[in-house]
Structure 1
């Protein structure tokens, strides 16, 4: 082999190792050749590296830029719980539903569950509409009509337990990714055409790995054309998103010099600006017996829940992060979570460091065990105190009321921000 030929091979090898691309390698530009072995991708011998242009857009989600914040109650601790003291934490960016899951979304869920699942599971997915029934109130119409009557389509679903909400998140993930995988297969693994909920059939291909045990599409994560799991937000994520302090931040100032009692500016619950001046910014109970104000001058205008797009959104673009319905979050409840959990993406998934054996539930001295979950946000039946993002309460994960709903969240995959 002469020296010129040897140099030629050397140059080709160097080009292969660096992929000869300008601007360096990245997730969206991995190069044509492996920088470890020099083997060409997407050949018979080489590994398949799918085209990736970033996480697909998930339906209903709003991007929440993470960062440092101070979590904890900014209100006077009138309940004397001392269970959410202020502390500094950092949260990674994530996505959250723009609105609470509404009746029409749950009815769609029931539609597909009835088609694809056993009757037993369908029955377990039905919300408990009897949560509206009260012995000394005439709420009977809500029992029969609230979930299914068309006029209530975009009212938040209630009567769902924490367990049911988790099942919904699992179904939503599978259904959305099934559609995405089918679209990617039809387009050869490339762009998504026809809209997120087009009715194209999945034809397999590189976007899917075959069929799962339950007959659904088995998604290949490596292809990057599907979404991470929809799930309930952690308590820290929910509280951070409700604060929406991004709206108070000055450009170039690394100090967070403002804080909010509610998910909006000011210390009051009424709108201080413009044409809506004087109107309430959330749906809540003003005082004993006052759910909506007087005829001709209604304050929040809602005796019970209100449509999910009612009232102004906060600075992240999220609606009803205070009032309307309380919302389930992932965490189990412990009064000492604020001092036990870590300060990066804090989350309490179990009783570690604070086991349930410490709480005498069997002796009726406590309500705490490993099956009680936190809910936050205040509701149409709560006074303004509970609208503050730092307040927290808990209930058994298999229980439901007319005042608790939920919304979904999702990680920001492929980013360290």
Structure 2
């Protein structure tokens, strides 16, 4: 009997070898041929490894001591040293530039400008961030974003929300270009409104415009062609903001200090050594400042003929030497947004692998038949915040009228009253889970503003643009529900921002919800704390900071809706598969 089993096994093995010798690869599990319509048509596409996306450099991951590397001058105690591991990933070699952002604005204007100008307005950087009450900066207000002299300088005045929207747009444009290079699509400059390429919508079968071919040849005996799918490995993963851990790891560039699993030198800054000036006596740059920051009070660039960092404000993104990963200006020029929600004690709570606080899990909206619901064909707004905006706008107008003694024009008063009423109706519909009807009501309000000839109409439209949450062409997504996760042991709720730091059970008042309710028992904005779930971390020093902030370990925070002339960003992308580029294995 053992002999028969051995012979049977040998027979199956010989059959597999025979099939492989006939030119077709076979399954090691079943012996069925891959990519063969006669065998059922299961496909195994060719794949080597993930390609490096435009503008990115590869960051090989590993473990490192994340956290404070020098004296905590501010006594914030918000970044205790701890050892963590960061998976391999990709990151932009420079900060996103003004040229890149104006390319983004041009695309939005071309696709949405005619019917949805609020989408374009929502993406405009706040150029007024340059203004100071006791300093002249009108030159930067007027010229910094668009003049070619600044096109290779980092974009500023961009909020965390705007940076995330840019990452989504960049993902879609890169993947669309991949399809064009593969010969599957043609350049389509006539995309408009919801008829524009979105990676998620295409994968859901909801984008067909601009096809050059029907798709890839299908081995399914019932199909001739098929769309590109995730299984083909052609599309790149999403561009996104880096996590705080990724940014800090990449900025330190410890790969240049490692030897046989040992970090030979502890670094304070992204460059080698413990000085802010170049101390390499073998080169021609001895004594040069290593990045763009403020050397001392009133000294932003040095003296004529001997400029230290050579930049009064920001500088060209390639001006200074890169670190050992090939990343430019990870210490100065501008501070940079990262994905994380700020908590002082993240260092005590977060995971050892890819630590991050800010997870909100989402899933595509499905129809009653279980299919992916049609993508957005209109702008979606944050309904509750739109109502609050209408109410606050009316209240401020009434207060100004009362203080000045000049009554509100009747047409403006009627418009504001109508908008508040429509906002209340929209919120009521949203609370009844009628999201589309609620959004249509908001769109009616937008159309009413556009048709109005009052002086306040442009102000209302500009304010509304801040509350755009989804644009035409994007797939409909929703937060996952607790009832969907009853059998899960790793998470239950979609929103995990408050987990162990801000939720009811992490409060000293865990037994009673408290004055502000369960969700705000610890962090209640301007009541019990300056921190809330909109507080986002930004890392690194800027042109206006002292050298202390050039240490990658320093961390600060700002409301995700706000911006600064000192904060920019760069994109990151996850590495799929082997953490070593080139697939080198022991």
TM over 0.5: yes
Q: TM-score w.r.t. structure 1 length?
A: 0.86
Partner residue of 1:36 out of 29, 36, 47: 29
Give 2:306's aligned residue.
297
Give CA deviations for 1:297-348 in whole Å, capped at 9, x if unaligned: 1100100000000110000000000000000000000000001001111111
Q: 1:279 to 1:174 in 2, by over 3 A?
A: same
Give 2:321's aligned residue.
312
Of Structure 1 and Structure 2, the greater helix share is in 2
Separation of aligned partners in 2, 1:122 and 1:97:
24
Partner residue of 2:278 out of 256, 268, 271: 271
Give CA deviations for 1:155-174 in whole Å, capped at 9, x if unaligned: 00000000000000000001
State how many pairs are aligned: 386
The answer to whether structure 1 residue 174 and structure 2 residue 172 are counterparts is yes
Partner residue of 1:126 out of 124, 132, 152: 124
The answer to whether structure 1 residue 86 and structure 2 residue 81 are counterparts is yes
Separation of aligned partners in 1, 2:238 and 2:12:
42
Give CA deviations for 1:90-131 in whole Å, capped at 9, x if unaligned: 111110000000000001111111222332111100101010
Greater displacement, 178-187 / 299-308 = 178-187
- Which runs of 5 or more structure 1 residues have no equivalent in the other structure? 1-6, 22-30, 188-197
Q: 1:210 to 1:81 in 2, by over 3 A?
A: closer
Q: TM-score w.r.t. structure 2 length?
A: 0.62
Separation of aligned partners in 2, 1:142 and 1:171:
26
Give CA deviations for 1:381-412 in whole Å, capped at 9, x if unaligned: 00000000000000000100000000011111
Secondary structure of the 1:242 match is helix
Give CA deviations for 1:184-215 in whole Å, capped at 9, x if unaligned: 2449xxxxxxxxxx959999xxxx65753697
Counterparts of residues 1-400 of structure 1 (less than 5 Å):
11=11, 14-16=14-16, 20=20, 32-44=25-37, 45-117=40-112, 118-186=116-184, 209=203, 211-212=205-206, 220-250=229-259, 253-273=260-280, 274-349=283-358, 350-355=497-502, 357-400=520-563
Separation of aligned partners in 2, 1:9 and 1:70:
51
Give CA deviations for 1:133-160 in whole Å, capped at 9, x if unaligned: 1121110010010000011010000000
- Which runs of 5 or more structure 2 residues have no equivalent in the other structure? 1-6, 190-195, 212-226, 359-496, 504-519, 581-586
Separation of aligned partners in 2, 1:355 and 1:326:
26
Greater displacement, 355-364 / 271-280 = 355-364
Give 1:27's aligned residue.
none
Secondary structure of the 2:166 match is helix
Separation of aligned partners in 1, 2:95 and 2:78:
26
Computing the radius of gyration from Cα coordinates, the structure with the larger value is 2
Separation of aligned partners in 2, 1:301 and 1:122:
34
Contact 2:338 2:537 in 1 (8 A): yes
Deviation at 1:20, TM superposition (A): 4.1
Aligned alpha-carbon RMSD (Å): 2.7
Contact 2:96 2:569 in 1 (8 A): yes
Separation of aligned partners in 2, 1:32 and 1:209:
27
Secondary structure of the 2:357 match is coil
Separation of aligned partners in 2, 1:19 and 1:56:
31
Deviation at 1:361, TM superposition (A): 3.4
Separation of aligned partners in 1, 2:108 and 2:97:
17
